[in-house]
């Protein structure tokens, strides 16, 4: 491998002031929102402003055998964009332009660094929107959403990122630029490499552009339901009853008692009833009011205390409670934020498993769920003084990982998956083969080598090479 000083000299000669080696930049590149930080010090942060900057960086990396970790806003929750010792952090955050909007074709072409919220604010002027709606929409980038295969609050009705991307422009490890996918509604020429790149977490290439599938702004009313239940299992049964009714809400979010209490404390709201769980549901479109009334009837029939609002501002206030989950968890201690999914009918059983894990391991696991699609976010809270690691690396203590292992295996037993939207990153790579099986795990690992023969793209993430 080429000495670090020589790699730095090559980067500075080619990219000048876009190469940042300040202590603050290097330290920031080591961590994301997962609570995990990579070991050691990155070589440099390259703040790319163009496709050419990305290509130049990767050509230097390939010629010198230097690992590269692509990074957007750093809001990931699996350690997937954390940059470690001797690695180049390739930031595409400054590549944030909207290159094209075609209202007639319902598409937009954007750079990866644009924030979800900024994109939709601009699209609203055209009567359009991009449906993926992660809780972190105000701070997460489109490129990061594509890298992790993100989801969010609206997926049950409007789909996940994979459903909303027509094509991607990707720079391979050796600097070649590929334009994958299409601008047409239909397109089945060759293998679907666009879908392969979505959710690949920077292991196949660097996404430098995306052609997005847009929707018209939804006309009609927006109705919001807040329903409380005596416990989380009752709320999970209620959410399953809504799904079974055939009514399709735009949003259906579940908060257990511990998460609800933490958010109310953070936002200085009145304390909720001890033990109570809450469903927050929104309906939209021309039939919103009728659907909301029908859902309210379903919830009352299974024991819910229901409040229904037709006011958009009140609806946003109620959703702010859900969107404040992660900041609220930070007030409780260091958090391992997890991301299992199960079939929607299995939500009550999964909450039973979470309660069992809490009892048997003696810990508290505040949990929220995108109940409309069966995606749960259990939060393992621990005292940071009990964590291990050096050089700023946060490692959850063994008893937390033992509880997480128990919970992951419970989700798999129920027909679920290890991650619905956060990705594998560093935190879940040890369980990947348990879900995929040895043959599929090996096949996927071999695919990464086709795209990246030297293994320099995001090494140590997802697959251990």
Q: What is the pLDDT of residues 31-73, one digit of tens each?
A: 998 878 899 999 999 999 999 999 999 999 999 999 999 999 9
CB 169 within 8 A of CB 179: yes
Instruction: Report residue 194's pLDDT band, with 50, 70 and 90 as the boundaries.
Output: very high
Segment holding 90, helix H or strand E: strand 88-91
Q: How far apart are CA 370 and CA 297, in angstroms?
A: 21
Tokens coding 268: 């200085």
Dihedral sign (CA 240, 245, 246, 249): negative
Whole-structure pTM value: 0.93
Question: Does residue 138 sit in helix, strand or coil?
Answer: coil
Tokens coding 248: 């399709």
pLDDT higher than threshold 80 for residue 386: no
CB 17 within 8 A of CB 372: no
pLDDT at 390: 54
DSSP output for 17-56: GGEE--HHHHHHTTB-TTS-B-SS--SEEEE--SHHHHHH
In the predicted model, what is the mean pLDDT of residues 130-137?
Answer: 85
What is the 3 state secondary structure string of 312-349?
Answer: HHHHHHHHHHHHCHHHHHHCCCEEEECCEECCHHHHHH
Across the strands, what pairs with 336? 380
pLDDT in tens, 288-306: 999 999 999 999 999 999 9
Residues in the chain: 465
pLDDT higher than threshold 60 for residue 460: yes
In the predicted model, what is the mean pLDDT of residues 364-391?
Answer: 85
pLDDT at 289: 96
Q: How far apart are CA 329 and CA 332, in angstroms?
A: 5
Question: Does residue 264 sit in helix, strand or coil?
Answer: helix
Tokens coding 107: 């598409």
pLDDT in tens, 79-109: 999 999 999 999 999 999 999 999 999 999 9
CB 175 within 8 A of CB 52: no
pLDDT in tens, 221-248: 999 999 999 999 999 999 999 999 999 9
pLDDT at 228: 97
Tokens coding 136: 């972190």
Burial profile 137-172: b = 16 or more Cβ within 10 angstroms, e = fewer: beebbbbbbbbbbbbbbbbbbbbbbeebbbbbbbbb
Pick the more confident residue, 68 or 391: 68
Q: How far apart are CA 253 and CA 154, in angstroms?
A: 10
Question: Cβ neighbours of residue 9 under 8 Å, at least 6 residues apart?
Answer: none
SS3 content of the chain, % helix, strand, coil (to 5): 40, 20, 40
Query: Across the chain, what does the average pLDDT equal?
Result: 94
Question: Does residue 149 sit in helix, strand or coil?
Answer: coil
> Between vectors from CA 48 to CA 43 and to CA 53, what angle results, nearest 5°?
95
Tokens coding 112: 């990866």
Beta-sheet strands, E only, within 187-314: 206-213, 215-216, 221-229, 251-255, 277-285, 305-309
Instruction: Report residue 1's pLDDT band, with 50, 70 and 90 as the boundaries.
Output: low
Across the strands, what pairs with 252? 281
CB 120 within 8 A of CB 222: no
Task: Centre a 10 Å sphere on the Cβ of residue 107 and count the other Cβ atoms it contains.
Answer: 19
Q: How far apart are CA 42 and CA 40, in angstroms?
A: 7
pLDDT higher than threshold 70 for residue 318: yes
Q: How far apart are CA 267 and CA 10, in angstroms?
A: 49
pLDDT at 465: 53
Pick the more confident residue, 388 or 443: 443
pLDDT higher than threshold 80 for residue 389: no
Tokens 């292992």 — which residue? 405
pLDDT in tens, 71-81: 999 989 899 99
Q: How far apart are CA 242 and CA 300, in angstroms?
A: 11
Across the strands, what pairs with 141? 115
């Amino acid at each position: 491998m080429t000495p670090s000083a020589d790699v730095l000299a090559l980067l500075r000669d080619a990219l000048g002031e876009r190469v940042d080696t300040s202590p603050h930049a290097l330290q920031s590149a080591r961590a994301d929102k997962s609570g995990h930080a990579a070991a050691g010090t990155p070589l440099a942060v390259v703040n790319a402003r163009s496709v050419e900057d990305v290509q130049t960086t990767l050509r230097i990396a390939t010629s010198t055998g230097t690992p590269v970790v692509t990074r957007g806003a750093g809001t990931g929750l699996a350690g997937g964009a954390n940059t470690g010792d001797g690695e180049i952090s390739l930031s595409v955050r400054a590549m944030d332009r909207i290159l094209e909007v075609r209202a007639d074709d319902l598409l937009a072409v954007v750079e990866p660094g644009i924030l979800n919220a900024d994109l939709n604010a601009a699209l609203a002027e055209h009567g359009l929107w991009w449906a993926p709606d992660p809780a972190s929409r105000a701070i997460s980038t489109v490129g990061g959403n594509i890298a992790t295969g993100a989801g969010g609050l609206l997926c049950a009705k409007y789909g996940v990122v994979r459903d909303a991307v027509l094509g991607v422009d990707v720079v391979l490890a050796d600097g070649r630029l590929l334009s994958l996918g299409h601008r047409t509604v239909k397109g089945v020429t060759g293998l679907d490499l666009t879908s392969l790149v979505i959710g690949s977490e920077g292991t196949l290439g660097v996404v430098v552009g995306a052609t997005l599938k847009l929707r018209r702004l939804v006309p009609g009313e927006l109705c919001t339901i807040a329903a409380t239940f005596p416990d989380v299992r009752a709320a999970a049964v209620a959410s399953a009853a809504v799904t079974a009714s055939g009514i399709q809400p735009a949003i259906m979010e579940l908060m257990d008692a511990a998460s609800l209490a933490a958010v109310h404390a953070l936002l200085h709201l009145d304390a909720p009833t001890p033990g109570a769980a809450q469903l927050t549901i929104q309906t939209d479109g021309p039939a919103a009011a009728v659907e909301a009334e029908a859902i309210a009837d379903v919830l009352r029939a299974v024991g819910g205390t229901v409040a229904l609002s037709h006011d958009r501002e009140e609806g946003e206030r109620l959703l702010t409670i859900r969107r404040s989950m992660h900041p609220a968890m930070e007030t409780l201690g260091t958090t391992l934020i997890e991301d299992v999914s199960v079939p929607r009918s299995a939500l009550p059983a999964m909450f039973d498993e979470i309660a069992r894990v809490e009892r048997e391991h003696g810990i508290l696991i505040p949990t929220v769920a995108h109940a409309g699609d069966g995606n749960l976010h259990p939060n393992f809270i621990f005292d940071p003084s009990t964590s291990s690691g050096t050089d700023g690396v946060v490692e959850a203590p063994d008893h937390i990982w033992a509880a997480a292992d128990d919970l992951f295996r419970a989700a798999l037993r129920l027909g679920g998956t290890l991650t619905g939207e956060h990705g594998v990153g560093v935190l879940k790579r040890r369980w990947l083969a348990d879900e995929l099986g040895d043959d599929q795990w090996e096949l996927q690992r071999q695919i990464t080598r086709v795209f990246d023969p030297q293994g320099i793209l995001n090494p140590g993430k997802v697959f251990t090479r």
